[in-house]
Amino acid sequence: MKKFKISYLWLLMLLPLMGACSKEDIVFDVELPRFELRPGYQLLEVIVPQRTMPTDKIYIVGEFNGGKDVAVGDPRWELEKAHDTDAKWGIYLNPEDFLEGKTLADGYTFYSVEQGEERSLDNQPVAHTESPALGQRTNVIVYRWADYFKEPENPGEIDHDGYAIYVVDNSGYEQLSLYAWGDAEVFGGWPGIQPTGETTIDGVKYKYFDTGEANEGLNINLIFNNNNNGSQLGDYNVTLDQDYYLELTADGVVPYDPSSNIPHDGYTLYVSDQSGWEELYLYMWGDVNDLNGAWPGMSPAGTQVINGVTYTYFDFGKDNCDKGLTEHLILNNGNGKQVDDVVVFALDRDVYVELTATSAKEIDPSDYSPGATEPEKPVSYNLYIENNTGWNEFHVYAYGDKEAFGGWPGATASSTKTIDGVEYLVFPVEGAGEVENLIFTDNAGIQYDALQITLDKDYYIRANPESAELINK
């Protein structure tokens, strides 16, 4: 199995050995810092969407600085672009500038003056809570800006009266009418109105009913019928505060997802993501390494609903498909967790998989329904630390997937244990594969970045005055 995730600290420790590595060994530096640390400041290094322009103005907003109306335009809250890449921006934050009693942990997001608010892959609001210690940094990922989700203008775009109800009509009715009751009979008496018109959007033909600007906000029940010729479908409740997309069948009315007609670039990997990971990337290696980007690979192109299941999808690119390239697919969270060889194939078809935190399996979308995936149960482990620092106090703080030893300055040892004549400080910790970054401190002004570990085993560590090293046991 190839394992590609190597932390920056371990990269430094391994540099003297790199000359002995074979061509098959791959080292990635995508998570290397781009900004220098500053004492007394929290540093956020922000990975921005591809569409972000170097000239964009980006601000951090949250409860700690009064929100968008206050923060935008204030240089204290404006991000700066890294000098050597357009993909990473940074901001130094002084907690003394925060509103009283507020911290980053209260939630924050990012705002682009040119492209709008930060959004998730499925166009939902985002709230981050990552909060590095003073003098430390953390990476934050922005997946989309609001402008990404704006629908392109169609030639001859229709000027609707109020919100519209778009219908994919598979009812079989020779004539279709729509009656509504509830807050008002907005389409008049039975059987209601016939379609306002027809339109084609992204290759899909719709009949549409304009609901009238004066009816905005009303709650109504829709009854589609065959124009008073003896057949009607069951009631469908809506509130007139948005456009609606519906599909009519002989049996009833169901929501219709326009994204199910998304055009794709070549073949596609569809992932039913049951991993619980906060982030998801696809890395590809084989006949061509880094086929769609260096580790951790490409971000999702979007989400798509197929047969009622929401998939996160990655397009392989038509220029890569049907060329006989054999590729290994690795799904990962960009932070130490990965599932290798999800599928190995020649990029000659669409692939559907279910991903959990520890495995992936290929599925048939025609009869697939997501299974209930139980989270991994935490297991108790110990950090055994040989303390050669000479400090009066010794604390361990951890950040990453969680604060494993609580808030700053972390925990002190629960006990000591002598093993092979060496006395160790013992730090119990529970984990289920989380990735943690350790900081050793005397809680009196001395601290240093120690090691990055995965909470899946015991660790033996030698703490020197200025650095730490693993002890092989």
Q: What is the pLDDT of residues 387-429, one digit of tens each?
A: 999 999 999 999 988 899 999 999 999 999 999 999 999 999 9
- DSSP H/E element including 463: strand 459-463
Residues 51-83: tens digit of each pLDDT: 788 788 999 999 999 999 999 999 999 999 998
pLDDT at 203: 65
Residues 104-140: tens digit of each pLDDT: 999 999 999 988 999 998 889 999 999 999 999 999 9
Residues 321-350: tens digit of each pLDDT: 999 999 999 999 998 889 998 999 999 999
Q: How confident is the model at residue 143 (pLDDT cuts 50, 70, 90)?
A: confident
Query: Domain 30-149, what architecture?
Result: Sandwich (2.60)
Cβ–Cβ under 8 Å, residues 311 and 270: yes
Residue ranges per domain, the chain?
30-149, 164-259, 262-362, 379-470
Q: What are phi and psi of 244, to 5 degrees?
A: -125, 145
Q: Label residues 50-89 b or e (16+ Cβ within 10 Å = b).
A: eebeeebebbbbbbbbeeeeebbeeeebbbebbeeeeebb
DSSP state for residue 371 in the 8-state scheme: P
Please give the share of the chain, as a percent, with pLDDT higher than 70: 89
Q: Does domain 262-362 have CATH number 3.30.460?
A: no
Q: Is the pLDDT of residue 220 over 50?
A: yes
Q: Give CA separation, 360 vs 329, 339, 351, 353, in Å.
A: 11, 7, 12, 6
- Residue 322 tokens read as 């049907």
Q: In this structure, how many other beta carbons lie within 10 angstroms of the beta carbon of residue 350?
A: 13
pLDDT at 463: 97
- Residue 168 tokens read as 């994919």
- 155 upstream amide cis, omega within 30 of 0: no
Residues 176-216: tens digit of each pLDDT: 999 999 999 999 999 999 999 888 876 678 899 999 999 99
Report the pLDDT averaged over residues 285-290: 93
Of residues 7 and 45, the one with the higher pLDDT is: 45
Cβ–Cβ under 8 Å, residues 252 and 242: no
Q: How confident is the model at residue 371 (pLDDT cuts 50, 70, 90)?
A: low
Question: 30-149 and 379-470 share one CATH topology?
Answer: yes
Query: Domain 164-259 carries which CATH code?
Result: 2.60.40.1110
Amino acid (one-letter) located at 205: K
Query: Domain 379-470, what architecture?
Result: Sandwich (2.60)
- DSSP H/E element including 420: none
pLDDT at 7: 37
- Torsion (CA) 284, 287, 288, 289 in degrees, nearest 10: 50
Three-state DSSP at 459 gives: strand
Q: How confident is the model at residue 375 (pLDDT cuts 50, 70, 90)?
A: low
